[in-house]
Structure 1
């Protein structure tokens, strides 16, 4: 028997470099989605505290004021901001795929967490390798983040931005029988007409991911308004030089690469909603299953090291710190 699942992709503007206010907006979007019957809501890449557009706008030596603010407004997993979002997910009984800048010690990471409808963290991962200019701000991860998890909604995985054009990365996800994929992106088109980073190219890469993996893909994107562009001002006080307006292209694709949502204007905030039938994946994989009947492991195969890596290895056995389940006392937010 087929089961319908309602999912949604966020297309919205963060409150740039303001963690508290963006958390407020996150909780409002969670409540809106839940009211509309959404069971899984996906947020863009580094939604908290907004994608660091300054990385592409100015030379590194001119970025220091932005870097300081970005560190100060990044998320710690044990901090009150992340707890508030977990509480909101539990209060509204909705699964949330959150993209954020994670701070650990003196380092930042492009992170994603899938939070279950009971507030538990089902998956936490970091971008395997930041893209181009992102490497001046963010650290790398390891193969443990290339993970597809079993949930009440299906087998779910997540990647950030240009991770979708790495063929071995996408193959690692497909080989784990991924059914629903979170594709988190920043605002598209911030580099103008540069073809490799154009909205058309990045939309095509996301659609191709759905086709190749025979998976539903939830594409979440940020937008940038005229006022938002002034949060990263040029020397003359004008907007960031890479601002082109809008940048929102949230949508959902089916496992045959079909578009399941109506278009939102690139400057319009909203959530793109689709109802998924996981049974349709079988029809798509009947044609092409790249890690199944269409594979040739005798010719080509992937070696995946998905063990967590740590910079320090202690001789004594120690259990890694775990995020504690939410207690009833933690749920302090009002409806």
Structure 2
């Protein structure tokens, strides 16, 4: 595939529908079409945008959160499903890469999941936030390092992190070491106040500078009516305003368009991919500016599983023999591979 020299990127700051997955999904599909009509080749949506970010868990005590938590279960997205098929079809129809945050339901658990669809509609990445933050730990399970993967797409190499994962330097370094070219960042927005937006801006601009890549960041928006529906307490409502910083950042740490900090809108900017080499010529954190013989990252990228050894397990994944006996050599071999990677890094 010929390398693209210019990519038109879009980041959507829009409000979900807090009553229905299908209504929020309709907003997503409309926004994909609108961005594509403006020439966008990639569009990024906010964190867990479908069906909605669990704002209730930030302002309600756990004892009062049960009803909303159960409702989130009912409206959450399974992968694959009709909801993901609809997004895939829109990506394929409009020829645009789509980065969508969803609440993913996997049987009895919810996860903060980032989905990347290529321009042909293929799902090329599904990753789960490795550590939910603060109130989120009451809502979502933990992901694993199998999702810390940079993937090739029609527009370049893409990596993704959600919200305060950007404060985990090793998670960021894992993507940097895989040479991401466009980094997808997603935050909830409409939370905490102006300081959240200020911190977010510092964080995404720093990642762009340190990794030498573009960052496309999307945050969500809540209307006053929606804020009132989450809590009537005016004191608590203050925690559901501000904190929006939908932005597109160059490898030189510059805004490529004025960020959206209030209201709804689609931010669009053209990415000059030659700026990646321009930045890395001066400072390549995983190349000529690295000292791997002194400092290096060892990552266990295996997907975690709650059980091994069942007669019905997949042999290729778990090492289970056809007679139902677990073959410990499978785990031993995997551990040896990690050890080899560690020794090679040294």
Match of 1:317 among 301, 314, 319: 314
Alignment check: 8 A CA contact 1:224 1:247 kept: no
Comparing both structures, which one devotes a greater share of its residues to helix? 2
Q: Classify 1:298/1:80 alpha carbon distance in 2 versus 1 (closer, same or farther; 3 Å).
A: same
Aligned-residue offset at 1:240? 5.0
What is aligned with 1:260? 256
Q: Once the 2 structures are TM-superposed, how far is the Cα of residue 2 of structure 1 from its aligned partner?
A: 6.5
Q: What's 1:301 paired with?
A: 296
Q: After TM superposition, where is structure 1 displaced by more than 6 Å over at least 4 residues in a row?
A: none
Structure 1, unpaired ranges of 5+: 321-335
Work out whether 1:32 is the aligned partner of 2:72: no
1:179-218 matches, cutoff 5 A: 179-188=181-190, 190-192=191-193, 198-218=196-216
Residue of structure 2 equivalent to 1:83: 85
Q: Distance between the aligned counterparts of 2:224 and 2:285, measured in 1?
A: 43
How many residue pairs were aligned?
313
Give the TM-score taking structure 1 as reference length. Answer: 0.89
Contact 1:230-1:240 within 8 A present in 2 as well: no
**Matching of residues 154-173 of structure 1 within 5 Å:** 154-173=156-175
CA contact (8 A) 1:224 1:246 kept: no
Contact 2:187 / 2:220 at 8 angstroms: preserved in 1?
Answer: yes
**Using the alignment, how far apart are the partners of 2:94 and 2:55 within structure 1?**
32
Query: Which range moved further: 246-255 or 25-34?
Result: 246-255
CA offsets per residue over residues 93-146 of structure 1, 9 Å max, x none? 111011010001010000011111221101110101111111111000111010
Q: For structure 2, which runs of at least 5 residues remain unmatched after alignment? A: 318-346
CA displacement at 1:219 relative to structure 2: 0.7
Look at both structures and tell me which one has the larger radius of gyration over its CA atoms: 2
Mark the CA change 1:258 to 1:68 in structure 2 (over 3 Å): closer, same or farther: same
TM-score normalised by the chain length of structure 2:
0.86
* TM alignment of 1:1-335, pairs within 5 A: 3-188=5-190, 190-192=191-193, 198-234=196-232, 240-264=236-260, 266-314=261-309, 316-318=313-315
